Amino acid sequence: MLTTACKDAIRAMIYIAKKQKNIDNFISIKEIANNLDLSFYFLSKILQKLVKDGFLESYRGPNGGVKLAKPMGDISLYDIILSIDGDDVFTQCILGFKECSDIKPCAVHEKWAPERERLYNLFKDTTLEEIEEEIEKKINIKL
């Protein structure tokens, strides 16, 4: 449902939020890529989009990198998904039909529509701050 780029963006944003909880410094993209086992170049492109959309600040140079541009509590998973993938997962037919609605439904519309709404609410209501707090409570959380 979510693209690889979107999943990587979410993981990177969680990593940045976790690191920024204690220190408000720029975090190098190389560090993020290495710790999350992601391609530096692919991650750089993803993070550029999040900078453009105002979720991250970037700084070039020896101490450069990225950091959150907003408080953790003001960035939801929905915001990240919208920035990277758009809102298709929340608006389009799961079978890919262009026309699928309550009036002209596809074969799984009746089952998919409530699940799509549930996912929308889950992502909209989950912030980086909440995720960071959950990570603090648990041991061995994978990013």
pLDDT in tens, 9-22: 999 999 999 998 87
In the block, tokens 């710790």 appear at 35
Q: How many domains does the chain have?
A: 1
User: Do residues 26 and 67 make contact, with C-beta atoms less than 8 angstroms apart?
Assistant: yes
Q: Which domain holds residue 78?
A: 4-85+127-137
Does 30 map to a domain?
Answer: yes
Does 45 map to a domain?
Answer: yes
CATH number at residue 59: 1.10.10.10
The average pLDDT across 40-58 equals 97
The average pLDDT across 115-140 equals 91
Q: What is the pLDDT of residue 79?
A: 98
Split at pLDDT 50, 70, 90, the class of 94 is confident
Does 111 map to a domain?
Answer: no
Does 103 map to a domain?
Answer: no
Q: What is the pLDDT of residue 41?
A: 96
Does 96 map to a domain?
Answer: no
Does 14 map to a domain?
Answer: yes
User: Do residues 80 and 6 make contact, with C-beta atoms less than 8 angstroms apart?
Assistant: yes
Does 99 map to a domain?
Answer: no
Report residue 100: phi and psi, to 5°: -150, 115
Q: 99 pLDDT exceeds 90? A: no
Split at pLDDT 50, 70, 90, the class of 98 is confident
